[in-house]
Amino acid sequence: MSIDEFSAYGYFFLTLLLVVGLYAYIYHLYKKKKDATGVDYENYSNMALNDDIGDTPVKPVSDEKKK
Amino acid sequence: MENRPLEYDYTVAKMFMVTTIVLGIVGMSIGVFIAFELAFPGLNTIFGQGIAEYTNFSRLRPLHTDAVAFGFTLSGIFATWYYVGQRVLKVSMAESKFLMLIGKLHFWLYVLGVAAAVVTLFMGYSTSKEYAEFEWPIDIAIVVVWVLWGVSIFGLIGIRREKSLYISVWYYIATFLGVAMLYLFNNMEVPTMLATSAAGETGIGSWLHSVSMYAGTNDALVQWWYGHNAVAFVFTVPIVAMIYYFLPKESGQAIYSYKLSLLSFWGLMFVYLWAGGHHLLYSTVPDWMQTMGSIFSVVLILPSWGSAINMLLTMKGEWQQVAASPLIKFMVLGSTFYMFSTLEGPIQAIKSVNAIAHFTDWIVGHVHDGTLGWVGFMIIAALYHMAPRVFKRELYSKSLMAAQFWIQTLGIVLYFTSMWIAGITQGMMWRAHDEFGNLAYSFMDTVDVLHPYYALRGTGGLLYLIGFFMFAYNIYKTMSARPVEESELQNASPMGA
């Protein structure tokens, strides 16, 4: 295989990998909301909107520790 | 003591707010001065021939770029981190004596580093690598400062109450990691004292002066991988971090699409690092690498516009706020300038356009619509939002802020339009030739033609600087303005007349 062929294959598969990776990530972001333990990423905006020290965290660290 | 409610501690944020303003004034004043030096060369020696060494364009230019990038902008990034970081992680710096100590150490070592950089650059010590002019002892100090900031970031994350990290925190982490990697690799250098001459002599160099460990084209490649990504990780990534917090907070609107913010983040991270090659088009760099630099620059439009459009759409249905609040104006125009310069950059990176644009003033214009319109406006807006909250007082004057906005906007428009015309004129004149291939113009011909545009650019810069003084005054007076209640600070910042 010449270096040109090698770089052409490399280019093709890298592009394919990135496209698949990108769409898989988008799919993941939407799918997670539908799971039983779903996370709606849109709620995360509230981390900035309700950011007083007394406000309830969107996802408290202490929840994790209790499990 | 026990019963006192916990509060965010803005001590370190306030310290960095001061350096943001002071170094902004220093860097921008030098910028205006050297802009006029280009228009009126007599200014190079205005303070006498004796000290012309210290006042000429070439000595002051790195002081301008480094003061605005590593002084004003970095201070702004640190100030906002010590403010935003606590709030979105819902943890106070008062809860950790260690982090407070690190934060203060971070600040004072930073000030020391800045002082050393200013003095040595004035004295003429320079590695001659653009945006990486500092000699090696200062580089080491900067690494220490950077590590301290890292300890602050990850320390605060370590004791957080909010499990997930808000999108701005991702961007701050990326800034930390990106700059760390770039800075270390580009500043690999050897003091000339350790070098041996061609004749075999040793010990003839200097301990303070150094040369890069890379040579020729390799050095150029590393330098522009660094140079362009300094734009990425100092002028883009952390500023996106700011707008993702301050615009939603000030307007009271949730981010239009949080998912888009995540997607844009990974897009930006992946694409930006490959675009630096566009600084070396038509040079000795391999052709495929130049093409790659061009292509990645064009692809970069997507993640950049992903964030910028996301921010503009955050204002959906709330556009009356743009009319009503000068603070929102700064951010919305900042976001618009971000879109503008991230479209302009890729256009300049296309090889055929670059053949005209390279080495001309159009590039300077491009940098400044990005830095003045996007970076400057966003940091100014961030500090305006923070000021009432850290001082617990209303902003001193809304009308002064509005006047500042319009004066600075006019300044930016004068700046980039004059540089567009100057740059394209330059590019066309340098290329023009007769039917035998003789150049149609000499270099001095272009200098003559460009004079009015250089004068206009200086004027634009001066207007921006005047606006910056108004900003400094407004913040200073805020410290003695009307005290406000906690409830007034929910979203829109309280402002006096």
> Can you tell me the distance from the alpha carbon of B287 to that of B351, in angstroms, rounded to the nearest whole number?
11
Q: Hey, which residues 15-34 in chain A have their CB within 8 Å of chain B?
A: 18, 22, 25-26, 29-30
Half-sphere exposure of B188 (CA within 13 A, CB side): 12
Work out the percent of chain A whose per-residue pLDDT is above 90.
46
> Can you tell me the distance from the alpha carbon of B166 to that of B84, in angstroms, rounded to the nearest whole number?
10
- Position B464 scores a pLDDT of 98
Q: Where are the domains of chain B?
A: 11-190+216-481
Q: Scanning every residue of chain B, which has its alpha carbon at the shortest distance from the alpha carbon of A25?
A: B263
- Position B245 scores a pLDDT of 97
Average pLDDT rounded to a whole number, residues B83-96: 96
- Position B497 scores a pLDDT of 80
Average pLDDT rounded to a whole number, residues B29-35: 98
Assess contact for B273 and A57: CB atoms under 8 A. no
| B255: pLDDT strictly greater than 60 | yes
List pLDDT tens digits, range B187-221.
Answer: 999 999 998 888 988 888 899 999 999 999 999 99
At the top level of CATH, which class does the domain B11-190+216-481 belong to? mainly alpha
CA dist list (Å): B380 to A51, A52, B37, B200, B386: 21, 23, 27, 55, 10
Q: Write out chain B residues lying below 8 Å of A41, CB-based.
A: 258-259, 262
- Position B204 scores a pLDDT of 86
Alpha helices in B300-442 (DSSP H): 301-314, 320-324, 326-349, 351-357, 361-368, 377-391, 398-431
| B92: pLDDT strictly greater than 60 | yes
A1 touches chain B (CB under 8 A): no
Using DSSP's 3-state secondary structure scheme, residue B289 falls into helix
A48 touches chain B (CB under 8 A): yes
What is the ipTM score, two decimals? 0.85
- The pLDDT mean for chain B works out to 95
- Position A1 scores a pLDDT of 85
